[in-house]
Structure 1
């Protein structure tokens, strides 16, 4: 499907704002079913139900330092050494007045002990311990109290949380071997266009390697492992419709190119052929204006622009949020960060602009080439600099919002 697209009568149609387009898209998102998985298999998955602690952590007071466990009111000693408490091997007796137990970091405090003296401040002579430092302030400073981290029945993670290595560790520490997560959506990505050739093959005059499909599939792979690629498909309505039929069982169908109104822009008629309903078309953003969103039953179809930078930007603004929303993410939209602009930026017009940028020691600046067909600057970019519609100029040093890519 041709990467470009000429203007036509539809060009006069009013553009949707980015915010309205994203709202309408997320309204189409249907939550995927939940499944119970081992915690160790949930990296990157979104919780379908809250995770509550099945136990208290620590269950009993622990030492936060290597040293000596004592009864605090026995200060300043000396004490008689009566045993040792190590992690996994607690001292089984009770610490009586003027007695002490050698203790390791993470070990259980013996019964009746309520303070830990760090080993650097102590001297052991036979079975006698003497203290030569300043008492801990407060006296239980080096003790991890029961429930310091969490208590039984406390909510550890909310529904919609994305599982990270730290959250996996928290769920396991809370007593869980499995958790409920949303199934990852099935995504089909169609490469379409007479000019597209398989990567690494000889190119006929006017042909280009099909790079959008692999790029879009790789972007989606950050949020789902269920991805199928179809194509390249030639520029014929019948061929595109047949490819779409192959993807009928996908939760999300993504195409790139053909969403404009040129003679070779076949997405709209192909969608009509397969019985899909267009929800909206054309959004006030740059790059990426000719994005089209449609539905076919429960399936959401994203017709992304054909220029690679436009496809990349709209995937971040629409495809990835849709994938998050279908998995119940607490926040589906990309999160912006505030950074100083290290260069002056001009005012914007009626469309929101997403400049490819790079971080530097003085802040963030646009890359030198912003053409929507240029892949070298895109590959060298760290972020998208967000310039809302009708924004005033930005002076060097003033803050701008950025989305990391």
Structure 2
């Protein structure tokens, strides 16, 4: 476990980024399985494989509007066919096609027995009650064969697949009404800071600042699959922090503490939670920005501490809260940490600590935003990715391939 404030190593980063992620993954165990209707399964992770309950199509069907005929009749040179009926999608084909005749058929309608070709409507002409086919026919028969899409018993969705609109369509087409999904983590939020006030109220004072992080971090959590479980704001007071945290922990799986993570005289977050049984897993990660980030457990609940500086807090939330949530909801922490490798458009700044910098994509690759500051807010409007730059003295010149993460 990491060292708490007050140790001899207070000013040192205690753990490397990759080691911190490894510890986070060890603790990010899925919360359990429940069943959800299709209407409530969206954005959840599949916990059990989804199998088709029916064939698709359920019978040989027309792939085009036209006329169903027999290839055997066409092979004899017949091109004029009496039309003996019409088949619509949703109807049942109850009688076989009489040799030498045709049936008007709509897209998706089952073929009558014996028919094995649909001639497109645009390729024929009508003469009274007869349809006249062209002398030269397409090689395509415009028939969707039974079970050509999938057959009953086929595995259509594997465990871990997130239910996006495409997966939802597939589950419904498989005739599945409910899915086994992993439980969504419930996340509570606790902001600390004497100076904070609700957005919209700061202008009426001379020193208050808007709480810009609470709603932003909550939205990020929702984007990564969480279910918000309430938010509170308290002053920089250990007892107030402890009381608010104790109340929040009763109704959430994850508590995100925003602010109070550093070592100022009024940064109480970690110390305030020790009497509640906080077991610190890691703290003080060797990254810039976001070194004060910490993570621990209070019983079954997870607690993640974010720094109070806006860009640092959002960076840390993306790097640690997002994988914690995907781990708890059955997708695994790696689901939030798959990088996209892009070339640097400009030289990257060097630093001793590993850097995770705000950037944006352009035609030349990824461009790091100038004048990076942990306390900045305005630069986030242009930041659509986080760029990982290794620490140390070795430069990262333009053209270097770097890992980036969607912000």
Same fold (TM over 0.5): yes
Specify the SS of the correspondent of 1:58.
Answer: coil
Moved beyond 6 Å, runs of 4+: none
1:95 to 94, 97, 102: 97
**Is 1:321 aligned to residue 323 of structure 2?**
yes
Evaluate the alpha carbon distance shift between residue 144 and residue 400 of structure 1 in structure 2; reply closer, same or farther with a 3 A threshold. Answer: farther
Q: Who is 1:119 aligned against?
A: 121
SS in 2 for 1:45: coil
Determine whether 1:152 maps to 2:152: yes
Work out the CA distance in 2 between the residues paired with 1:335 and 1:51.
Answer: 25
Q: Deviations over 1:304-330 (max 9, x none)?
A: 111111111111111111111111115
Of 378, 393, 398, 1:395 maps to 398
Measure, in 2, the Cα distance between the counterparts of 1:210 and 1:11.
Answer: 28
Kept after mapping to 1: 8 A contact 2:236/2:260: no
Task: Give 1:172's aligned residue.
Answer: 172
Pair 168,133 (structure 1): closer, same or farther in 2 beyond 3 Å: farther
Q: Matches of 1:339 and 1:116 in 2, distance apart?
A: 49
- The alpha-carbon distance between structure 1 residues 7 and 311, as it changes in their structure 2 partners (threshold 3 A), is farther
Alignment correspondent of 1:67: 66
SS in 2 for 1:301: strand
Asked if the contact 1:83–1:91 (Cα under 8 Å) also holds between the matched residues in 2, the reply is no
Tell me if structure 2 keeps the 8 A contact 1:51–1:156: yes
Query: Which residue number in structure 2 is paired with residue 258 of structure 1?
Result: 260
Aligned CA-pair RMSD = 2.3
Cα distance per residue 1:54-96 (max 9 Å; x no partner)? 1111111122112221222322531222212221124432123
Using structure 2 for the length normalisation, give the TM-score: 0.90
Structure 1 CA distance for aligned equivalents of residues 378 and 279 of structure 2: 36
Asked if the contact 2:346/2:368 (under 8 Å) is kept, the reply is: no
| Alignment partner, residue 386 of structure 2 | 384
Is the partner of 1:190 in helix, strand or coil?
strand
Counterpart position of 1:3: none
Classify 1:392/1:369 alpha carbon distance in 2 versus 1 (closer, same or farther; 3 Å).
Answer: closer
* Shift, 1:392, TM fit: 4.9
- Over 3 Å counting, the alpha-carbon distance change for 1:59 and 1:347 in structure 2 is same
Corresponding residue number in structure 2 for 1:211: 212
For 1:59 and 1:348, how far apart are their aligned partners in 2?
A: 62
Q: CA deviation at 1:133?
A: 6.2
For 2:169 and 2:154, the matched residues in 1 are separated by: 16
Bigger shift: residues 291-300 or 150-159: 150-159
Give the corresponding residue for 2:191.
Answer: 191
CA distance in 2, matches of 1:339, 1:241: 44
Q: Which whole-Å CA distance do the structure 2 matches of 1:252 and 1:192 have between them?
A: 17
Task: Kindly indicate whether residue 22 of structure 2 is the aligned counterpart of residue 26 of structure 1.
Answer: no
- Residue 248 (structure 1) shift: 2.1
- Quote how far apart the aligned CAs of 1:335 are: 2.7
Using a 3 Å threshold, how does the CA distance of structure 1 residues 196 and 236 change in structure 2: closer, same or farther?
A: same
Matches within 5 A, 1:4-403: 9-75=8-74, 76-78=77-79, 79-132=81-134, 134-137=136-139, 139-140=140-141, 142-202=142-202, 204-222=205-223, 223-231=225-233, 233-249=234-250, 250-329=252-331, 331-341=334-344, 343-346=345-348, 348-389=350-391, 392-396=395-399, 399-403=401-405
SS in 2 for 1:136: coil
Residue 103 to residue 345, structure 1, CA distance change in 2 (3 Å): farther
Long gaps (5+) in structure 1: 1-5
Which runs of no fewer than 5 residues in structure 2 stay unpaired? Answer: none
- Report if aligned partners of 2:348, 2:368 keep a CA contact under 8 Å in 1: no
* Deviation by residue 1:199-227 (Cα, 9 ceiling, x = unmatched): 22246444311111111111112212332
Q: How many Å apart are 1:302 and its aligned residue?
A: 0.3
* Aligned CA distance change for structure 1 residues 81 and 348 (closer, same or farther; 3 Å): farther
Q: How many residue pairs end up in the alignment?
A: 395
- Give 1:362 shift: 4.2
In the superposition, relative to structure 1, how do residues 278 and 86 fare at CA in structure 2: closer, same or farther (>3 Å)? same
Query: TM-score, with normalisation over the residues of structure 1?
Result: 0.90
Counterpart CA distance in 2 for 1:196 and 1:295 is 27
